[in-house]
Structure 1
Amino acid sequence: MLLLTMGAALLGAALGSTHAQNSAPIPAPRAQSARATTVPGSGATFTVQGVPLPSGFRHAFALALNNKGHVLFVAHKGAQARADDGDVLHLWTGDTPRALPLPRGFKTGELASSVGRSCLADDGRIAMNTFLGQGALFYSGGRFTPIAFPNLDIFIQNCAPDLSAVASDLNTAQSYLWTPTTGEVRQGTFEGVNDINRAGQFVADIALQRAEGTFTVDRKQWQPKFINEAGLVLGEDVAGDGATLYLWPAGEKQPTQVQRPAGTEAVFPQDLNEKGQALVGYLDDQFVYTHATRTYRPIRVTGWKLQVVLALNDQGWVLAQATQTGQKAVRTVLLKPK
């Protein structure tokens, strides 16, 4: 409890006080990109485990993954893979998926929207966006309750392992911190906060904060997107051309550019786990990057066509959506390294 309280206080102070005036520029990245190895080969590198479709449903849209391999997804009954208000939220923990009805009046037609991110903690609690002017929800103890953000255009961007969440106003980029233990919502100074960890360290479009202090971001170079419990920061080119990744481990004096995978035209970060592994890619080229070895492992499967990869857990499992060869049904799947 002390850690949670201190983390929330630290982030609240950083987002909402004079830290913006006392921050220093992030040190410039190293002049030369760090070399990275792409694992060679052409065969499947991951196995595919399909999340069971609930009875009566034909498609499943993935939402969130935790470290136990539990999956939050939306099931759809229609023949076409188009979300509608007949969709039903489900949680899969290894057996038959369990339906999670939303509160009365909440619709399910846009739960799988790509704006923001929904979060599934290892203890089964959920923080999720609902869209359609309905606001975000918190699931705990078998029931959903609304998160008291100031308006309905505020969307969760990411969560720490304890489910503390950062959110942004879609219209103004105003940032907010939500703490699940108290339900408190704090307004921040920095715009566009992207991620936090349990210590309250955060990364935003224009700033980041770690144990070393609060830093302003040179948006002409790169933009931080993720931070893990060890303080490792993962970011991308601000230019948006996907030329390289940027990583800044805690304790190092400056960020490092990392070459993109061999044979690719671009690379963008999509998730970061606590093992220092990142889910990255562009279009049909997807990889798990391990910073300790500076190695890209291609994500290749047989018998399925991947549509999108969404999340990476600490076991190195990847949450994705895919269609099986010869079939049209969109499925939620877990990819596990071979």
Structure 2
Amino acid sequence: MAQQAYMTETADGGSGPERPGSRLRRLLHRMLAPWRNDSGIWRRGAVFTALALLLALVMLLHAHVPNTVGNLGSLTETFLPWLGVFVPVLLLLGLWRKSAITLIAVLLPAIVWLNLFGGLLTDKSGGGGELMVATHNVNADNPDPVGTARAVAGSGADILALEEVPASKVSVYEQALAPTYKYHAVEGTVGLWSKYPMTGVQAVDIKLGWKRAMRATVTTPEGPVAVYVAHMPSVRVKLKAGFTARQRDTSADALGEAVADETLSRVILLGDLNGTMNDRSLNGVTSQLRSTQGAAGSGFGFSWPAAFPMARIDQIMVKGVEPESSWTLPRTGSDHLPVAARVNLDTPS
């Protein structure tokens, strides 16, 4: 059977075989014709262009957004990755308005967002890790504490931290976790469970008046590690007061001072910090420790709220050890997702 040849009109008025790509060129020609014939494409879309530039500036200069009024800077930094959602919105608006200047301007916030968060889109996790650690805010009102305890214990974590453990349910968690963890300690509403011996257990004063942080030395087969568990005060967004994070900020500074005074070179911090790594108010902690999610995770690792995670406020941070992988665990009866990480302890203690 003879192969059918698609014909197209030639320059002399005749016809001949259609060259590859000519159909695509004609399609693009028809799509772009209204733009080429429209002299207003460079004048329309001033508002959308201004919004694109403002979005780029907010992301680029987020550290300079002031905290003096309602902690606006910290609020912006808490949800900073989500500002990228406005990039495709502005792109569509630019297409709708047939505004060339808007389409060009949208490139700026897109580039800034990729510079800030593009690294989180790749999988940096490795296959190693001598020690697995996990942390979980179990929620004081958890309807299934036994199921929650068994779920996180079943993750295989060698060291497990729990936050928001009410006094009335401490024994419930102790009994549920006893088959997996030989050693444990509870200070106030936070607790630490370990497969390895624990010594030097003590509460850490984070300026609250009650116990929500602790420290212990865990003696692993690779040597001792200082393990901190912390639950920073909650933050709220209120109409008049703004982002109410002052108490959390004070506690974060106190925790940072405790970490700075640590004598062991290997440090692991587990807990609900009620803040993200972008939040400047956690600098007392983040300036000293590395986030395992940022160093060895895949994606943003959002942990709260469990039903639709929007922020990574549950953290595993380290110093003197090497993160290998970091991830979130399946949902339990809590409003937070558990988070876990594997680390190597091959640095000298």
TM-score scaled by structure 2?
0.29
* Larger RCO: 1 or 2 (CA < 8 Å, sep 6+): 1
Higher strand share: 1
**Which entry has the higher C-alpha Rg, 1 or 2?**
2
